[in-house]
Amino acid sequence: MEMKKTYGLVEAGGTKFVCAVASSPEDLREEVRFPTTEPAETLGRVVEYFQAAQKKWGRLEGLGIGCFGPVDLDKNSPTWGFVTATPKAGWADTNVAGFLSHSLELPVVFDTDVNGAALGEHLWGAGAGLDNLVYLTVGTGIGGGVLSGGRLVHGLVHPELGHFLLSKDPQDTFTGSCPYHGSCAEGLASGPSLEKRWGKKAQDLPPEHPAWDLEAAYLAQALLAFMTCFSPQKIILGGGVMEQLQLFPKIHKEVLRLNNGYIRSPSLTPQGIVNYIVPPSLGNRAGILGALALTST
């Protein structure tokens, strides 16, 4: 019998960091969470946590890190493992993977948080058995991970689904919250965008508020584009904003309307779409299990 290897896991988010130790999804040990402050302090807390964890649990095999982006994933690049052009204050050009690997003397698997989540849902969640998935998180930011042919999509850099440019609703006078693009998905449909446009936090807007129709229209527009690109077998929508479950039927309806019968599939019918565009099934463990999933790549 093969002994399961034990890994250190880091869900490195723009709002909070989560660290844990695990050998399998059933074995998540002493998870800790702390807010994402400036890089030296935040990464210092990660190092302290794993130093203490290794005293308790023994030497780890390595670290799995799912990180907010954009990140450099080119192994031949001098800035591999860095967070690069993020609008997050203080974090642009921060060496995350190299710093943690060096400080802890551990090998590291490093990818985007959303690629991790996509792989986690493929291994243990809503996408089990499916080799072609899009995972989109809609929260403080918008980001996506993609599995195609059973493998995470990488390339020149990595997918940047949150910065997909939307066709703006002519009635929408909000100028967008992304410093790079006036009308990308993140700029128009993230949690902070909702709050700035409507003057209330997303969770304080009632389900019948017109905010949700506009939000669903913007997300449906992005999802149809991802469907024309990746032809996924399932689309999983996570993140804080998607906890507003009234969004799902609105998105379903709008995706069918925009597709207008062109892409034909049993999944693109009023019955089928309910199981095609779905919430994550790993819930608030998606991020940390994503980091665990990365250690299997």
Of 215-234, binders to a copy of itself (CB under 8 A) are: 221, 224-233
Of 113-132, binders to a copy of itself (CB under 8 A) are: 132
Q: What whole-number distance in Å separates Cα of residue 218 and Cα of residue 172?
A: 11
Contact indicator for 282, 128 with CB cutoff of 8 Å: no
| 265 scored as a contact of a copy of itself (CB under 8 A) | yes
The strand order across the sheet containing 133-138 reads 151-152, 142-148, 133-138, 234-238, 277-278
Compute the radius of gyration of the chain from its Cα atoms: 19
C-beta of 8 vs 159, nearer to a copy of itself: 159
| 149 scored as a contact of a copy of itself (CB under 8 A) | yes
Q: What whole-number distance in Å separates Cα of residue 216 and Cα of residue 218?
A: 5
Considering only 61, 160, 195, 243, the residue that binds a copy of itself (CB under 8 A) is: 160
| 263 scored as a contact of a copy of itself (CB under 8 A) | yes
> Cα 159–152–182 angle (5° rounding)?
10
| 166 scored as a contact of a copy of itself (CB under 8 A) | yes
Q: What whole-number distance in Å separates Cα of residue 63 and Cα of residue 294?
A: 9
Shortest Cβ 14–a copy of itself spacing (Å):
16
| 155 scored as a contact of a copy of itself (CB under 8 A) | yes
The window from 3-11, 46-54, 176-184, 243-251 that contacts a copy of itself (CB under 8 A) reads 176-184
For 4-37, give the DSSP string: PP-EEEEEE-SSEEEEEEESSGGG-EEEEEEE--
For a copy of itself, the binding residues (CB under 8 A) are 70, 84-85, 132, 146, 148-149, 151, 153-161, 163-168, 180-181, 183, 221, 224-233, 258, 260-265, 267
